[in-house]
Amino acid sequence: MTDTNELIRLSAAQLAQKLAAGEVTSVEVTQAYLDRIAAVDGGPRGVHAFLHVNTEEALAVAAEVDAIRAAGGAAAAELHELAGVPIAVKDLIVTVGQPTTAGSKILEGWHSPYDATVVKRLRDAKMPILGKTNLDEFAMGSSTEHSAYGPTRNPWDLDRIPGGSGGGSAAAVAAFEAPLALGTDTGGSIRQPGAVTGTVGVKPTYGSVSRYGAIAMASSLDQIGPVSRTVLDSALLHQVIGGHDPYDSTSLPDPLGDLVAAARLGNVDGMKIGIIKELHGEGYQAGVENRFNESLELLKQAGAEIVEVSCPNFKYALGAYYLIMPSEASSNLAKFDGVRYGLRVLPKDAPLTIERVMGATRAAGFGDEVKRRIILGTYALSAGYYDAYYGSAQKVRTLIQRDFEAAFAQADVLISPTAPTTAFKLGEKLNDPLAMYLNDVATIPANMAGVPGLSLPGGLADEDGLPVGIQLLAPARQDARLYRVGAVLESLLEAQWGGPLLAQAPALATSVVEPVETLETQEAK
């Protein structure tokens, strides 16, 4: 048996190997992560990556995998490669047997009667689900500060944000509370948290992973994707969750090919990598820019050809995004009305009409950022404004797609910093929505065009010693290229650092004994 402190630091691929070889059991691995969660997640200075910890079920699945492996034979041989490797799930994705809150009071205590397709696939692969991770309410935010259940802290500096909306999944993986996690990315919610926590996050090609069971923010932009500590691990997880789903009409009919093989290829010979002129330089932190340039140099040394491409319409992406996303969100969130499930608030005074109950429920159940976006979207879709706002934004979307087409005519993969800055301090941008929105300036174009994007750690910024993310972008359905280039760059960088970047993260206090802040403990209060 391996030391648990080492065990939790292994990658998912390494864990899978050890499990297959019988060097460790899934129960040991799962318990090690549950212990780590108990040690670092709760309390006033805890990471608070989890909203719910799924101890019993996770251990039961782990024990089942161990039993199958111990029995040997065909059943053991048929076990999925990642069977027994635990995973955390963003609390925007519905799960039977655990609450799903979307980080909102309006769904407090709600249990889904059905599993998301990706969750079914995790269950089919027999991956123990450790619990549900924190997020900005309904995935609206870039810092996880908009969670109704309190912010998640960045394991690199507990006074800083872990990014958002998927700060919980990224922080859980960065703090070794889980080897893998699922996220959702509408404008950067997987990649930007990955960047600021020194982890890997992938937004797959739109339609390549089923959205069935991911509580929708903006249907045409949302995509579920993997969160991990290595590029290979994301590829392994992507293979588990991807593929056609008849329950999602926007699901692509054909699989993306062998992503794991791409991550293992190990060369970038002759590949053309395009720097997007508009996505670096002015407005980007110096330390971010430095690490970005180093990555370019490494790729060049490895045999890639670096070219510069221009995407002139990307400057309109943020504006158009903040019309399309709230428009769709305003409609998607209309169902939260207190009639069928979730919170129901009765107005204090008469009359108790349906409109007033819906109004009181939504007023009490939604946070400010959610209300802000609902109001923005309702306005943008209103008669007389539709053409000027939603209609124009859709045209911008087409222009962005054309920019990508032109860029991919010159390069196989595009590259940029994932976020303009490293992690900012908790509370720093909370009252400045526009500054908050600017965090996603480099990640939004991929969602607008439906193309895949990957963020991987690019090192630490000189000025603050915090992680910097490097973003790779590929044409739609060419996710394999991201894994190929990402894995090569990762190994070149790790050779420089002498190991994974996360090894340089400060040790988290593990003496905290306060219980994990979960829905149950909150309800108990």
Q: Catalytic residue at 189?
A: yes
Among 10, 61, 107, 399, binds another protein (CB under 8 A): 107
Other Cβ atoms within 10 Å of 233 Cβ, number: 27
Q: By CB under 8 A, which span of 73-81, 335-343, 436-444, 452-460 interacts with another protein? A: 335-343
- Residue 383 engages another protein in binding (rule: CB under 8 A): yes
Which string of b and e fits 49-84 if b means at least 16 CB within 10 Å? bbbbbbbebbbebbbbbbebbeeeeeeeeebbbbbb
**Which ranges constitute the DSSP H helices of 333-367?**
354-365
| Of residues 361 and 418, the one with the C-beta less far from another protein | 361
- Residue 215 engages another protein in binding (rule: CB under 8 A): yes
| Of residues 220 and 401, the one with the C-beta less far from another protein | 220
Q: Binding mask 306-325 vs another protein (x if CB under 8 A, - otherwise)?
A: --------------------
246 cis-preceded (ω within 30 degrees of 0): no
User: Of the candidates 272, 242, 269, which has an alpha carbon nearest to the alpha carbon of residue 257?
Assistant: 242
416 cis-preceded (ω within 30 degrees of 0): no
Q: By CB under 8 A, which span of 39-47, 77-85, 99-107, 286-294 interacts with another protein? A: 99-107
Q: By CB under 8 A, which span of 12-20, 82-90, 242-250, 450-458 interacts with another protein? A: 242-250
Q: How many residues of this chain interact with another protein, rule: CB under 8 A?
A: 44
Q: Is the dihedral of CA 227, 228, 232, 233 positive or negative?
A: negative
CB of 112 to another protein, least distance (A): 7
Residue type, 501: L
Other Cβ atoms within 10 Å of 246 Cβ, number: 9
Using only the alpha carbons of the chain, give its radius of gyration.
22
| Of residues 34 and 448, the one with the C-beta less far from another protein | 448
| Contact call for residues 484 and 454 (beta carbons, < 8 A) | no
| Of residues 217 and 488, the one with the C-beta less far from another protein | 217
Q: What is the SS3 assignment for 456?
A: strand
> Is 363 exposed, middle or buried (CB count within 10 Å of its CB: 0-12, 13-18, 19+)?
exposed
- Residue 340 engages another protein in binding (rule: CB under 8 A): yes
- Residue 220 engages another protein in binding (rule: CB under 8 A): yes
- Residue 387 engages another protein in binding (rule: CB under 8 A): no
**Which ranges constitute the DSSP H helices of 366-427?**
368-381, 392-410
Among 5, 70, 71, 114, binds another protein (CB under 8 A): 114
Place of tokens 């193309």: 451
Q: Catalytic residue at 395?
A: no
Among 32, 68, 102, 273, binds another protein (CB under 8 A): 102
- Residue 356 engages another protein in binding (rule: CB under 8 A): no
CB of 219 to another protein, least distance (A): 4
- Residue 477 engages another protein in binding (rule: CB under 8 A): no
User: Of the candidates 162, 172, 171, 152, which has an alpha carbon nearest to the alpha carbon of residue 103?
Assistant: 152
The rounded distance, in Å, linking the Cα atoms of 126 and 107 is 27
Among 20, 110, 290, 492, binds another protein (CB under 8 A): 110
Site residues (CB under 8 A) for another protein, limited to 246-265: 246-250
Q: DSSP letter at 471?
A: E
Among 358, 364, 438, 492, binds another protein (CB under 8 A): 358
The rounded distance, in Å, linking the Cα atoms of 461 and 236 is 29
The rounded distance, in Å, linking the Cα atoms of 306 and 230 is 24
End-to-end CA distance of the chain: 38
Q: Catalytic residue at 228?
A: no
- Residue 335 engages another protein in binding (rule: CB under 8 A): yes
Active-site hit among 26, 112, 143, 189: 189
Q: By CB under 8 A, which span of 159-167, 188-196, 284-292, 350-358 interacts with another protein? A: 350-358
| Of residues 51 and 116, the one with the C-beta less far from another protein | 116
Instruction: List residues with catalytic annotation.
Output: 90, 165, 189
Binding site for another protein (CB under 8 A): 93-94, 100, 102, 107, 110, 112-114, 116, 211-216, 218-220, 246-250, 327-328, 330-331, 334-337, 339-341, 354-355, 358, 378, 381-383, 386, 390
